[in-house]
Amino acid sequence: MSDLTAAFETAVAHSKSLSERPDNATLLKIYALYKQATAGDNTEKKPSFSDLVGRAKWEAWDKLKGVATDAAQQQYIDLIESLQ
């Protein structure tokens, strides 16, 4: 396991125990970076208009299309560290 992957997994663990709940925009960014780092580019079907939360998550992840796994992991780590 690379140092970056280990740091990413540590950041994921820390994200579950933040002292304050981030705002919705930050939560979407956390979600999108996690999905990009773990699953790559978004290839899922876009949720319907009635699924507001699912659609917001899908759109946040879709904006990261083309971002490399390592870059997404590093951005995720940096974001979680900034919230601690």
| Domain at 3-83: CATH code | 1.20.80.10
Say if pTM beats, i.e. exceeds, 0.75: yes
Single-letter amino acid code for the residue at 46: K
- Residue 2, pLDDT score: 83
pLDDT in tens, 37-77: 999 999 999 999 999 999 999 999 999 999 999 999 999 99
Find all residues with CB under 8 Å of 67, minimum gap 6, and list them.
36, 75
Segments making up each domain of the chain, as ranges: 3-83
State the Cα–Cα distance between residues 43 and 40, nearest whole angstrom: 9
